[in-house]
Amino acid sequence: MKILVCIKQVPDAEAPIRIGADGRSFAVTGGAWRMNRFDEFAVEEALQIREAFPGTVVEALSVGPARAAAVLRRALSLGADEAIHILREGEEEPLPGEVAALIAAYVRDRGYDLILAGVMAEDDMQAQTGPMLAERLGLPCATAVVAETIPPNGMTIRVERELEGGLREALEMPLPALLSLQSGINRPRYPALSHVLRARTQPMMTVRAGDLPAPPRRERVVLLFLPAPAAKTLFLTGTPAEKAERLAELFREKALL
Amino acid sequence: MNAEIVVIAEVAAEGQPAPVSLELIAFAKSLRRNAAEPIRVFLPGRGIGAAAAELARLPGVAVTGIEGESLASYSAEAWKEALAPLLAARKTRFICVSHNANGADFAPGLAVRLGAACITAVEAFRIEAEGPIFSLSILKGKLQMEIVPEAETAVVTLLPGAFRRGDAPSSPMDKARKDGTNTTQNETVLLPEEFRRKEIPPTGVTTLKEKKSEVQGDRAGPPAAEMISVPDIPLKTRPLGLLPAPDEAADLAAAEVIVSAGRGIGGEENIELLRRLAFLFSRAAIGASRAVCDAGWLPCRYQIGQTGKTVSPRLYIACGISGALQHLAGMRGSQYIVAVNRDPQAAIFRVADVAVVEELVSFLPLLIAACRKHREGAAEAGR
């Protein structure tokens, strides 16, 4: 089986974020970028499928500027066999429609049996790239997948999608198919030393975005802004002990303690 | 130019129109340039006649029920196959879909098939001369992004609850039921509770006023839904049915105080600190964000949020929770919210009454000690 995992480099959730001078991009203080957490589940799921189906090849793909190579190295160090970098210059983040079109242009006719993606990126939170890619490739697709099983013949995949209120919906689809994975579907592993060493030197394939057919741009980011702080929020000040004391007083005043 | 706005509605388990669909209709109405612009509601499914008729009683909307054997259970494939040809023929301005499990599943693919723009998880919008500018949260709510479609048609998914029914006199559904007709009444565009006032920048904002006395069109007789059927096309996806929710156990619903853990607690071993804090309150329980349950630090029945439980205790203490909207959806109704997080930009601070920017592991023991002291002080005084 041949599996493609789509991964994205996103800012570390706790890193301080600034809005760029153009008002439409953001900058991460200290360059704290990491693999999108949802995509870590996708990498892990692919590796588990490879364990169940010997001979399976797992390839990781990312669209992004030069720095995005770091998440592909990470995928290799986790155990992916190959890495493909669709190099797209520019700090302004591409929108999902553009990313899906670029990936589709590369992936088409390469014979992947299964394409996995995270349910969304932690940064833009649009949850579009996976289902858009499936549509472009004409593949059946399920999003927010919390469980999957492939019967031994490897012809179909049975998935459970997460619905509201804890409900799940079960579906069966023929392969090839695309799944976007919800967090919690597995426990992502830590890199093994042998993989880490290999990942350092293993070449990756780089494809320039400009060499692929120009993707459509059907949306335009107007502006990013910091949400105004809520006027009602009381930020406690002082030493940690003073804050703790003040908070306990507040609990007392509100008759909560 | 067709100025129509389309709403893709859905049926709740009981055969009634889903509440999110009513919210979507209110949203669609606010997107109109004027009250004469038509709103077309598409309702795909099987056996949806009653729900379609119910929706058709709403003022200002025309309803098309799409019946089909392939629509008996939801699948993105069936929905796209049924909807795309109908929509492609219409040249619609906006196609409004709920950003719930199903809407988020089929909307992006539908947009690609139609060559439409796609803007998902919309929370608010403002109307400018060139049209609406949509805003949504990015980076777990640290920033807001404003975005506009640049295509003739745009598929827009609305985050459930973002455009909630306000304290309007009554919902249009109730009104229609009560009046039994909708030919004479004035229509009230429902506004969200607060319209996310605090999250919209102070300049250049067009506040939406209630649009009253809208043109209704004099329809003769009660409105009826148009019903069409789609042919039974072979699908690759085979729905296998719904699976029940996992066990319910934690006493979250009954708790008056919830101490809730986020990824920022750092590790499973620190849950004990939260338990010790919760122990100081009466009727207290432990809750968790999705990330904590995913990591296996607490079982999933502790999860609070859109896909977990919705709670509204007297006191909610959010420990190391970033405040993603999916979590806020489950705890926003809490009476008093205290957030402890080391990241001063964390979105949770915007819904909190009291914010503490500190490392949890060092702060919680101090807080536990201070709370103990105050409890004992109260006990002394009471003697």
Kindly report, residue by residue over A81-103, the tens digit of the pLDDT.
999 999 999 877 899 999 999 99
Banded model confidence at residue A232, pLDDT cuts 50, 70, 90: confident
**Does the structure's ipTM exceed the value 0.95?**
no
Q: What does the radius of gyration of chain A's CA atoms come to, in whole angstroms? A: 21
Interchain contact, B75 vs A171, CB within 8 Å:
yes
Domain count, chain A: 1
Structure tokens at A13: 């959730």
Per-residue pLDDT, averaged over A233-257, amounts to: 92
Interchain contact, A97 vs B358, CB within 8 Å:
no
Q: Mean pLDDT in chain A? A: 93
Task: Determine the residue of chain B that is closest to A223 in CA distance.
Answer: B146
Domain boundaries, chain B: 5-229, 257-382
Rounded distance between C-alpha atoms, residue A165 and residue A176, angstroms: 30
Phi/psi of residue B348, nearest 5 degrees:
-60, -30
Count other C-beta atoms under 10 Å from residue B275's C-beta: 13
Provide the pLDDT for residue B331. Answer: 92
Rounded distance between C-alpha atoms, residue B237 and residue A146, angstroms: 17
Provide the pLDDT for residue B323. Answer: 92
Provide the pLDDT for residue B379. Answer: 62
Length of chain B: 383
Q: Order of strands across the sheet with B154-158?
A: B117-122, B154-158, B94-98, B5-8, B39-45, B61-67, B226-229
Distance from CA of B186 to the nearest CA of A (A): 34
Residues 128-187 of A with CB under 8 A from B: 128-132, 134-136, 140-144, 158, 160-174, 183-184, 187
Decide: A157 and A172 in contact? Cβ < 8 Å: yes
- Number of helices (H) and strands (E) in chain B: give both, helices first: 9, 16
Smallest Cβ–Cβ distance between A228 and the set B80, B199, B264 belongs to B199
Structural domain contains residue A183: yes
Interchain contact, B80 vs A144, CB within 8 Å:
no
Task: Determine the residue of chain B that is closest to A28 in CA distance.
Answer: B139
Provide the pLDDT for residue A22. Answer: 87
A202–chain B Cβ distance below 8 A for any pair:
no
Length of chain A: 257
Q: List the one residue out of A150, A174, A45, A145 whose CA is nearest residue B243.
A: A145
Provide the pLDDT for residue B79. Answer: 97
Distance from CA of A203 to the nearest CA of B (A): 31
Q: Residue A52: is its pLDDT beyond 90?
A: yes
Provide the pLDDT for residue B222. Answer: 59
Q: How would you write the pLDDT of chain B (383 residues) with one tens digit per residue? A: 557 999 999 998 788 999 899 999 999 999 998 888 889 999 999 999 999 999 999 999 999 999 999 999 999 999 999 999 999 988 799 999 999 999 999 999 999 999 999 999 999 999 998 899 999 989 888 899 999 999 999 999 998 877 764 323 233 333 333 333 333 333 333 334 433 333 333 333 333 333 333 334 444 455 789 999 998 888 999 999 988 765 544 578 778 899 999 999 999 999 999 998 998 887 889 999 999 998 989 988 899 998 888 888 989 999 999 998 889 988 988 989 999 999 999 999 999 999 999 999 999 999 999 999 888 776 666 55
Residue B195 neighbours by CB under 8 Å, 6+ apart: B124, B207, B208
Rounded distance between C-alpha atoms, residue B31 and residue B5, angstroms: 8
Q: In the CATH scheme, what is the homologous superfamily, with its name and number, of domain B257-382?
A: TPP-binding domain (3.40.50.1220)
Provide the pLDDT for residue A243. Answer: 96
Task: Determine the residue of chain B that is closest to A122 in CA distance.
Answer: B139
- Could you tell me how far CA B151 lies from the centroid of its own chain? 25
Structural domain contains residue A240: no
Provide the pLDDT for residue A257. Answer: 82
Interchain contact, B238 vs A173, CB within 8 Å:
yes
Give A168's contacts in chain B (Cβ within 8 Å). Answer: 242-243
Smallest Cβ–Cβ distance between B120 and the set A126, A142, A172 belongs to A126
Q: What is the CATH number of the domain that holds A146?
A: 3.40.50.620
Rounded distance between C-alpha atoms, residue B330 and residue B307, angstroms: 8
Decide: A10 and A25 in contact? Cβ < 8 Å: no
Structural domain contains residue A96: yes
Structural domain contains residue A243: no
Provide the pLDDT for residue A255. Answer: 81
Banded model confidence at residue A18, pLDDT cuts 50, 70, 90: confident
- Name which of B123, B142, B336, B357 to mutate to probe chain A: the one with the most chain A Cβ atoms within 10 A of its Cβ: B142
Structure tokens at A109: 């006719």
Smallest Cβ–Cβ distance between B143 and the set A158, A226, A236 belongs to A226
Smallest Cβ–Cβ distance between A171 and the set B148, B149, B238 belongs to B238
Distance from CA of A199 to the nearest CA of B (A): 26
Decide: B24 and B162 in contact? Cβ < 8 Å: no
Count other C-beta atoms under 10 Å from residue B142's C-beta: 25
- Name which of A119, A246, A247, A253 to mutate to probe chain B: the one with the most chain B Cβ atoms within 10 A of its Cβ: A247
Classify residue A34 by its DSSP letter: E
Per-residue pLDDT, averaged over A149-173, amounts to: 91
Parallel, antiparallel or unpaired: strands B94-98 and B5-8: parallel
Decide: B65 and B17 in contact? Cβ < 8 Å: no
Decide: B308 and B290 in contact? Cβ < 8 Å: yes
pLDDT digits (tens, 9 = 90+) for A166-202: 688 999 999 999 999 998 899 899 999 999 999 999 9
Banded model confidence at residue A5, pLDDT cuts 50, 70, 90: very high
Task: Determine the residue of chain B that is closest to A142 in CA distance.
Answer: B105
Residue B382 neighbours by CB under 8 Å, 6+ apart: none
Q: Is B190 helix (H, G, I), strand (E, B) or coil?
A: coil
Q: How far apart are the first and last CA of chain A?
A: 59
Classify residue A92 by its DSSP letter: S
Interchain contact, A247 vs B367, CB within 8 Å:
yes
Task: Determine the residue of chain A that is closest to B313 in CA distance.
Answer: A256
Decide: B43 and B63 in contact? Cβ < 8 Å: yes
Per-residue pLDDT, averaged over A134-139, amounts to: 98
Decide: A119 and A126 in contact? Cβ < 8 Å: no
Q: Residue A133: is its pLDDT beyond 50?
A: yes
Provide the pLDDT for residue B218. Answer: 43
Structural domain contains residue A40: yes
Decide: A29 and A17 in contact? Cβ < 8 Å: yes
Q: List the one residue out of B136, B120, B156, B162 whose CA is nearest residue B329.
A: B162
Q: Order of strands across the sheet with A57-64?
A: A205-208, A82-87, A57-64, A2-6, A114-118, A177-181, A141-149, A156-162, A168-174, B238-243
For residue B245, give Cα distances in angstroms to A160, A167, B293, B301, B307.
12, 5, 15, 10, 11
Amino acid identity for residue A6 in this structure: C
For residue B12, give Cα distances in angstroms to A63, A251, B9, B20, B43.
39, 41, 10, 9, 11
Q: Which domain holds residue A66?
A: 2-211
Phi/psi of residue A194, nearest 5 degrees:
-60, -40
Structure tokens at B348: 């949770």
Classify residue B247 by its DSSP letter: P
Distance from CA of B187 to the nearest CA of A (A): 31
Residue scoring higher pLDDT (A65 or B208): A65
Distance from CA of A50 to the nearest CA of B (A): 22
Task: Give start and end residues of each alpha helix (H) in chain A.
Answer: 37-52, 69-78, 96-107, 129-137, 193-201, 240-253
Indicate the helix (H) or strand (E) that contains B23.
helix B19-31
Structure tokens at A255: 């008759």
Query: Structurally, what CATH architecture does the domain formed by B5-229 represent?
Result: 3-Layer(aba) Sandwich (3.40)
Q: How would you class B50 by CB atoms within 10 Å of its CB: exposed for 0-12, middle for 13-18, buried for 19 or more?
A: middle
Classify residue B17 by its DSSP letter: B
Interchain contact, A171 vs B315, CB within 8 Å:
no
Distance from CA of A202 to the nearest CA of B (A): 30
Give B288's contacts in chain A (Cβ within 8 Å). Answer: none
Provide the pLDDT for residue B142. Answer: 85
Q: Same fold for the domain at B5-229 and the one at B257-382?
A: yes
Indicate the helix (H) or strand (E) that contains B110.
helix B103-114
Phi/psi of residue A51, nearest 5 degrees:
-65, -35
Residue B11 neighbours by CB under 8 Å, 6+ apart: B17, B18, B43, B45, B48, B51
Residues 3-32 of A with CB under 8 A from B: 11, 13-14, 16-17, 19, 26
Structural domain contains residue A249: no
